């Protein structure tokens, strides 16, 4: 098996150490020659990288080299795979994305509703620049992007790089949900085969099969409605916010029993309840700053101080394993089936061709080969079309510097609806994002009485 040269962009991410542990656990499926970290924040990256050096020395002696840098050319040259996990504006701006809509009693969430728009308008420019840089230094590398808001980023990258066949956008949420299905069934998550359709953070499982073709969908639905639903992946199993989110699945399956929902649909189906439960001073960003970020930094500090991993507990999570299994299937043409984002082109028959959808695909060394979904029925089609229009308008607003398109996007979004409220949120977000967003201008159209 050819060993791969892997670059992680966003080396300082809170997910990096989990990813490294997953690379260790998956070394037979995805053997590596080298790992390189690249980040624009030298200090943030250094802490994670110094701990990683020790982890790799102890747990990945087969690796030829590990290094980290803030120099793009050095980082991005000779890559076989580039995993991209950046957060433009950091967790501080995530907090703004969540707090601003709450001022106006709208959902405050990083990828859904106004928060998703704000984060998207920050991410798109950096992502376009990065993909251009990667293509300059490693024209043939596979790019696996999971930078959020993945739906909006994927739509912008689709427009910007229409001919790039080695760029794939992915999300771990369906896989994390499947970990809990696997728990219900007493099976390994990678032995389950999903049937699924929708958009990123906006989709439904229509069936859960196993590799022998047995259908477990009704068993899972029954278990969820009778016994509840809990997160089982190690990273989120004990997190009160994720426990609450998974509990909401019980309610969604009771209200809409036809399919099994992605957890993110809670924000679109129960927006009022999502607003009521929030305390604006401790939205999710604050919880992550005091939780995952602190935990990861404390862990890194201890590994560095001890010079060994012997005194710490290091866990493998579905986030890393999922990304790596997808990468392995691309590298070695495994033909495994994973839920990924692709351009529709008829996969969902009654949606336009030129939109990004999230569906199961066979992952090959010529890219993802999505399975046909066929026609979707009115409820799902209506919801998806509204969300797609919002996503497209956000990307239009970016390219056209259009205030009006941004206002239309927010007004269309199910989490906002009211035009005056959309305008208030937008104006506050423009102010908060003045260092990050493109300038948005009002249209020159004149309204007359004739």
Ligand X SMILES: NC(=O)c1ccc[n+]([C@@H]2O[C@H](COP(=O)([O-])OP(=O)(O)OC[C@H]3O[C@@H](n4cnc5c(N)ncnc54)[C@H](O)[C@@H]3O)[C@@H](O)[C@H]2O)c1
Ligand Y SMILES: O=P(O)(O)OC[C@H]1O[C@H](O[C@H]2[C@H](O)[C@@H](O)[C@@H](O)O[C@@H]2CO)[C@H](O)[C@@H](O)[C@@H]1O
- Identify whether the C-beta of residue 204 lies closer than 8 Å to the C-beta of residue 198: yes
Residue placing its CB nearer to ligand Y in the complex, 95 or 233? 233
Q: Which of 4, 8, 12, 324 binds ligand X (CB under 6 A)?
A: 12
Out of 38, 181, 196, 264, the active site residue is: 264
| Interface pattern 222-261 for ligand Y (x via CB under 6 A) | -----------x-xx-------------------------
Q: Is 264 a catalytic residue?
A: yes
- Select the span of 56-64, 164-172, 343-351, 426-434 touching Mn ion (CB under 5 A): 164-172
Q: Could you tell me which stretch among 79-87, 186-194, 344-352, 361-369 binds ligand X (CB under 6 A)?
A: 79-87
Nearest residue (CB) to Mn ion, 68 versus 204: 204
C-alpha 201/C-alpha 179 separation (Å) is 17
Q: 3-class DSSP state for residue 65?
A: strand
Name the E strands within 294-335: none
Does residue 274 sit in helix, strand or coil?
helix
For the residues of 113-151, what is the DSSP string, one character each?
THHHHHHHHHHHHHHHHHHHHHHHH-TT-EEEE--SSHH
What lies within 8 Å, CB to CB, of 306 at 6+ separation is 312
Other residues' Cβ atoms within 10 Å of the Cβ of residue 403 = 18
44 binds ligand X (CB under 6 A): yes
Is the separation of the CB atoms in 387 and 112 below 8 Å?
no
Q: What angle is formed at CA 153 by the lines to CA 340 and CA 276, rounded to 5 degrees?
A: 90
Whether 301 is a known active-site residue: answer no
Nearest to 105 by CA among 258, 285, 344, 276: 276
94 is in an annotated binding site: yes
Least distance from ligand Y to the Cβ atom of residue 352, Å: 24
From the list 46, 95, 98, 126, which residue makes contact with ligand X (rule: CB under 6 A)?
126
216 known member of a binding site: no
Closer by beta carbon to Mn ion, 5 or else 111: 111
Q: How far apart are CA 263 and CA 80, in angstroms?
A: 33
Q: Is 241 a residue that touches ligand X (CB under 6 A)?
A: no
User: Which residue in the set 6, 63, 107, 173 belongs to the binding site for Mn ion (CB under 5 A)?
Assistant: 173
Footprint of ligand Y (CB under 6 A): 148, 171-173, 176, 233, 235-236, 284, 288, 317-319
The annotation places the binding site for Mn(2+) at 171, 201
Known binding-site residues for substrate equal 94, 148, 284
């Amino acid at each position: 098996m050819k060993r791969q040269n892997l670059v992680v962009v966003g080396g300082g991410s809170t997910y990096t150490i989990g990813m490294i542990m997953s690379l260790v656990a998956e070394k037979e499926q995805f053997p590596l020659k080298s790992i390189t970290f690249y980040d624009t924040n030298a200090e943030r990256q250094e802490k994670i990288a110094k701990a990683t050096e020790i982890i790799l020395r102890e747990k990945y002696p087969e690796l030829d080299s590990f290094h980290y840098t803030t120099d793009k050319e050095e980082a991005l040259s000779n890559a076989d795979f580039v995993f991209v996990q950046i957060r433009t504006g950091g967790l501080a701006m995530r907090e703004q994305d969540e707090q601003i809509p709450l001022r106006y009693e709208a959902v405050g969430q990083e990828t859904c509703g106004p928060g998703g728009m704000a984060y998207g308008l920050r991410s798109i420019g950096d992502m376009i620049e990065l993909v251009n840089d990667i293509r300059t230094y490693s024209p043939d590398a596979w790019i696996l992007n999971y930078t959020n808001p993945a739906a909006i980023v994927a739509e912008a990258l689709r427009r910007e790089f229409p001919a790039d066949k080695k760029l794939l956008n992915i999300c771990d949420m369906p896989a994390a949900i499947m970990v809990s299905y696997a728990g219900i069934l007493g099976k390994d998550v990678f032995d389950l085969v999903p049937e699924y359709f929708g958009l990123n953070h906006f989709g439904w499982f229509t069936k859960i099969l196993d590799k022998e073709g047995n259908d477990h969908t009704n068993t899972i639905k029954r278990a969820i409605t009778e016994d509840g639903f809990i997160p089982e992946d190690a990273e989120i199993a004990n997190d009160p916010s994720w426990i609450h989110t998974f509990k909401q699945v019980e309610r969604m399956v009771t209200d809409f029993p036809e399919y099994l929902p992605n957890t993110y649909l809670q924000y679109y189906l129960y927006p009022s309840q999502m607003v009521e439960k929030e305390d604006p001073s401790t939205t999710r960003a604050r919880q992550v700053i005091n939780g995952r970020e602190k935990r990861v930094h404390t862990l890194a500090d201890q590994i560095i101080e001890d010079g060994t991993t012997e005194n710490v507990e290091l866990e493998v999570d579905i986030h890393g394993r999922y990304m790596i299994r997808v990468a392995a299937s691309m590298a070695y043409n495994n033909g495994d089936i994973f839920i990924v984002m692709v351009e529709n082109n008829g996969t969902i028959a009654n949606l336009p061709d030129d939109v990004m959808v999230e569906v199961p695909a066979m992952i090959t060394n010529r890219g993802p080969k999505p399975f046909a979904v066929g026609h979707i029925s009115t409820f799902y089609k209506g919801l998806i079309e509204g969300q797609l229009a919002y996503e497209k308008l956000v990307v239009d607003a970016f390219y056209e510097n259009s205030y009006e398109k941004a206002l239309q996007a927010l007004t269309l979004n199910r989490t906002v609806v009211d035009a005056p409220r959309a305008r208030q949120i937008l104006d506050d977000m423009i102010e908060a994002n003045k260092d990050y967003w493109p300038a948005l201008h009002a249209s020159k159209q004149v309204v007359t009485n004739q």
